[in-house]
Amino acid sequence: GAESFFYDVIHSERIRGMCLDIASLPESERGPAIRALGYDFSPKELDSAVCRAYYKMRPEARAILGPGDLRDIVMKKWGKPM
């Protein structure tokens, strides 16, 4: 679900790389591509997972996807298309 997707994006360079590649696809293709990796979740589930995990994360992990609000980055790249 959403928790395992978010965990993998943060902790696995391989999955993060694939998901960043997916984020460059047209929005209509992102959901099916994420599901093809074995993840299935709603935008609300992903938002909740990010919010729950955020406060437990080290500062360097929070910045792993670049500058800006981690929740906004995740939701824009992968939450909305799901």
pLDDT tens per residue, range 2-60: 999 999 999 999 999 999 999 999 999 999 999 999 999 999 999 999 999 998 999 98
Domain spans, the chain: 2-79
Rounded to two decimals, the pTM is: 0.90
Three-class DSSP category at 67: coil
